[in-house]
Amino acid sequence: MLIVMMVVMFGMMFFMSRSEKKRRSELESKLKKGDRVVTGAGIIGKLVELGDAQCRVEIAPGVVVAMTKASIQGLADADAGKSSGDKSDKSSKDDKSSKDDRDDDKRKKK
C-alpha cells in the first residue's frame, strides 16, 4: 500500500513539473521586445533587450536591469485589469466612509 502511494505521488510530481516546463517555454517563446512583464520579485517593467537566457528590463525611465528569462513570471498587461478594478472599488468605499464620518461629526455638533 505504501509503495502504491509513493508511485502515485511521484507520478503527480512528474506530470506537474512537465506542465510547468511547458507553461514556461510557452511564455518565453511569446516574449518580445516592448512587452510589459512581471518578475518573480514583483517588479514590473518593459523588455528592452531579449537574449537566449538573459534579458534587460527597464523598470523606470533610464533604469535598465539585466536578469535571467527564468525570473520573468508573466506579462504585466494580463494582471493590470484586475488590479485597477480593485483600486477603484477601494477608493469609492473610502470616499463613502469618509463622507459618513463627516455626517456623524455634523450630527454631534448639533
Query: Does residue 34 contact residue 46 with C-beta atoms inside 8 Å?
Result: yes
Report if pTM > 0.85: no
> Which cell numbers in the block locate residue 52?
537566449
Residue 33 phi/psi, 5-degree rounding, is -60, 130
User: Which amino acid makes up residue 12?
Assistant: M
> Which cell numbers in the block locate residue 20?
510547468
List, in sequence order, every residue forming a beta bridge with 60; answer none if it has no partner. Answer: 63
Residue that is written with C-alpha cell 527564468 in the block: 70
Whether the pLDDT of residue 107 is over 70: the answer is no
Cα separations in angstroms, 36 against 14, 20, 33: 31, 21, 9
Three-class secondary structure assignment of 14-37: HHHHHHHHHHHHHHHHHCCCCCEE
More confident residue, 10 or 83: 10
Cβ-count burial 31-45 (b if 16+ within 10 Å, e if not)? eeeebbbbbeeebeb
Please state which of the ranges 43-57, 64-78, 84-98 shows the lowest mean pLDDT.
84-98
> Which cell numbers in the block locate residue 19?
506542465
Whether the pLDDT of residue 90 is over 70: the answer is no
pLDDT of residue 78: 61
